[in-house]
Amino acid sequence: MESELHPRKVWLLVMVASLGYFVDIYDLIIFSIVRVQSFKDMGITDAQMRSDGEFVLNMQMAGLLLGGLLWGVIADKYGRLKVLFGSILLYSLANVYNGFVQDVGTYAWVRFVAGIGLAGELGAGITLVSESMARGKRGYGTMIVAGVGVLGAILAYFVSEWFSWRTAYFVGGGMGLCLLLLRVGTFESGLFQHNRNQQVEKGNIGMLFNQRERFTRYLYCLCIGLPIWFVVGVLVTQAPEIGKALHAQVPLSAGKGVMFTYLGISLGDVGAGLLAQRLKSRKKVVFICQLLIIFFSLWYLFSTGLSETRFLVLAFFMGIGVGYWATFVTISAEQFGTNLRATVATTAPNFVRGALIPSTLLYGWLVPKFGIIHAAMFVTLLLSAIAIFALTRLPESFDKDLNFVEK
């Protein structure tokens, strides 16, 4: 049996992981919500809004990429709990400092440091929950973590509406520091403890690349998550610019769009988890989500004369489409042995976030050639096509015994 812990302890762990991801998402998405407000306050012109926004966002994503490597190795070598404590301390302090920045350059570097910290939370949390629950029920645990966690984006929106953008960063950092107190008394994964003395490589990222079958398995895991951050980071975050191209009836609010998208993601994560339990398949759920992404993204991008109400409704449904985030991370974790599981579960979501960099570069290259709408359509369809192909190459991992190691 994979979990010998008392059910009450397991669900306490799920609650703590959920709150951790709640704060993580708040701090991860806050820039997308306050981008325009903060840039105007620092004197950034409208002409520079999109390019400077992409620069700061890409710096944050680069931090996530680096942090994914760092925290994943630490989690497999020294334990999942060390990552949960270290990562939240780093990104909380960075977000407090973010409230004091005065220029785009400093803004970008602080978001880079915050990104490093933010990289550890989800992967370590999902790994810890997956390894602590019985295999037939672990989908419920990861579903709750994600479903509760993404609601942090909604809080981020309201805080940014009620207070200044600087205060919004202070609130995020403060919540993270308070959460450290709740982490005291949590416990390490039983599978990690059981396997820590085995004579196998632990947290060796090179193992993901030194064997063709294992590398392609990892690559396919990454590919199934590619559309998620393009939808959030471009289609919704750049709603003001896309709205202008669509001759929207009113200027579209990225902050409101992000809030409705994450409301959809929260519902989508819960729905994806429940549907996977019912179908006994995570792959089928991810395929359904790809179809939803394509349908609602194209509807949005074809909506000439878009009203604010239609935009928010479509943002919500696009959120449901990309609401397979926890399912994607769970699939990635289930594909690999205990000595590499946290490395994969931590690097996979952050490599996917980091993949927003080449996605936005491709998108930015296409915009002056074909226009912002057609560029967005092309990249969305390309990323979903890659995800569907990769999905067909991965074995089903539902109900898989996780008590094994990679050699």
CA-CA distance, 209 to 28, in Å (whole number)?
A: 29
pLDDT in tens, 249-272: 898 988 788 889 988 988 888 888
**What integer pLDDT is reported at residue 184 of this predicted model?**
58
Give yes or no for residue 7 having a pLDDT over 70: no
Average pLDDT over residues 294-323: 94
In this prediction, residues 33-59 reach a mean pLDDT of 83
Mean per-residue pLDDT of the chain: 84
User: How confident is the model at residue 129, as a pLDDT?
Assistant: 77
pLDDT at 3: 45
Amino acid 374: pLDDT: 95
Range from 241-255, 304-318, 319-333, 344-358 carrying the lowest mean pLDDT? 344-358
- Quote the pLDDT of residue 189: 53
- Rounding to the nearest 10 degrees, give the CA dihedral for residues 68, 139, 148, 308: 90
Token pair recorded at residue 137: 């029920």
pLDDT at 194 over 60: no
pLDDT at position 196 is: 58
Give the residue among 325, 377, 374, 375 at the shortest CA–CA distance from 353. 325
pLDDT at residue 130 tops 80? no
127 vs 264, residue with greater confidence? 264
In the chain, the percentage of residues whose pLDDT exceeds 70 is 90
Residue 131 — very low, low, confident or very high, per pLDDT cuts 50/70/90? confident
Structure tokens at 204: 């060796």
Pick the range with the lowest mean pLDDT from 42-46, 114-118, 242-246: 42-46
- pLDDT tier at 224 (50, 70, 90 boundaries)? very high
Residues contacting 201, CB < 8 A, separation 6+: 207, 339, 406
Relative orientation angle of helices 138-149 and 254-279, to the nearest 10 degrees:
170
Does the structure show a pLDDT above 70 at 103?
yes
pLDDT in tens, 197-214: 666 666 677 888 888 999
% of the chain surpassing 90 pLDDT: 30
pLDDT of residue 185: 55
pTM: 0.77
> What architecture does CATH give domain 7-183+204-393?
Up-down Bundle (1.20)
User: Looking at residues 12-29, what average pLDDT do you find?
Assistant: 82
- Whole-number pLDDT of residue 287: 96
pLDDT value of residue 2: 45
